[in-house]
């Protein structure tokens, strides 16, 4: 894709983030996005054949940002527990930095139809598998107790999801406030000692 096309596409997505976050999916029109992005209707439809495709593009964008940040941080860690703990921290930090995208991903996709919910489920499962993979590594290394890592990964994703959804809806608890509590609860569920948790929290 040419640089000018990338720039145009990003301008469309940036405008859509603001409109969807402020007005919701149904109350946003393609014309609104055209106007806000200072492009043309033809340019928008060149990159996104429909409003639905714009919305799904934003979901993909957020998942891509989160996945990239997770990979970069996790690759620097040397043990399974540290990787899992880092994944939790980066996840919360990313939701903080991209609150509007988080709102679109976690809240607005609900109830918009099968295509939206299937995309959301697909991405949730991708991150559940990522958590499970690093839990498996921690078990193999003897860093945590032998557990059903698939169920643990679902539980981790569920806890993170609920905290972030409440924050997006109400503004509380903030991810910064929630992180230490989540670390304690989720790491304890893996049989990690309070002393070790304290060491990880202070990294």
pLDDT digits (tens, 9 = 90+) for 54-98: 998 988 988 899 999 999 999 999 888 889 899 999 999 998 899
CATH number at residue 10: 1.10.10.60
Which has more pLDDT, 178 or 103? Answer: 178
- Cβ-based neighbours of 137, under 8 Å, separated by 6 or more: 80, 83
Domain tally, the chain = 2
- Provide the pLDDT for residue 3: 44
Please compute the mean of the pLDDT values over residues 37-58 and round it to a whole number. 92
- Provide the pLDDT for residue 4: 67
Residue 56's CB is within 10 A of a number of other CB atoms, namely 18
- Cβ-based neighbours of 4, under 8 Å, separated by 6 or more: none
Place of tokens 């193999």: 140
Last residue of one domain, picked from the residues 29, 49, 69: 49
Residues 32 and 114 both lie in one domain: no
pLDDT digits (tens, 9 = 90+) for 100-157: 888 888 877 777 788 888 888 898 899 999 999 999 999 999 888 899 999 999 999 9
CA distances from 36 to 11, 14, 16, 44, 140 (A): 9, 9, 8, 11, 51
pLDDT at 2 over 70: no
Residues 68 and 167 both lie in one domain: yes
DSSP string, 54-116: HHHHHHHHHHHHHHHHHHHHHTT--SHHHHHHHHHHHHHHHHHHTHHHHHIIIIITTTS-HHH
**What range defines the domain where residue 39 resides?**
1-49
Helix 114-140 and helix 51-74, axial crossing angle in degrees, nearest 10:
10
pLDDT at 17 over 60: yes
Both structure tokens of 175: 């991810």
Residues 104 and 190 both lie in one domain: yes
Which sign, positive or negative, has the C-alpha torsion 197, 133, 119, 56? Answer: positive
């Amino acid at each position: 894709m040419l640089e000018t096309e990338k720039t145009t596409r990003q301008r469309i997505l940036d405008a859509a983030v603001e409109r969807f976050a402020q007005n919701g999916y149904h109350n946003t029109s393609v014309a609104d996005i055209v106007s806000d992005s200072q492009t043309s209707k033809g340019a928008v439809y060149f990159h996104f054949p429909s409003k639905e495709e714009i919305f799904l593009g934003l979901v993909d964008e957020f998942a891509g940002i989160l996945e990239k940040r997770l990979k970069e941080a996790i690759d620097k860690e040397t043990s399974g527990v540290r990787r899992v703990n880092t994944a939790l921290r980066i996840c919360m930090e990313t939701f903080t930095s991209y609150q509007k995208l988080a709102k679109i991903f976690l809240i607005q996709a609900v109830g918009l139809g099968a295509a939206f919910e299937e995309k959301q489920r697909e991405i949730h499962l991708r991150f559940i598998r990522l958590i499970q993979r690093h839990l498996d590594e921690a078990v193999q290394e003897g860093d945590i107790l032998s557990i059903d890592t698939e169920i643990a990964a679902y539980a981790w994703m569920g806890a993170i999801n609920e905290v972030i959804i409440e924050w997006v809806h109400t503004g509380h608890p903030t991810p910064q406030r929630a992180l230490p509590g989540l670390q304690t609860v989720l790491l304890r569920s893996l049989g990690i000692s309070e002393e070790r948790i304290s060491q990880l929290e202070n990294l």
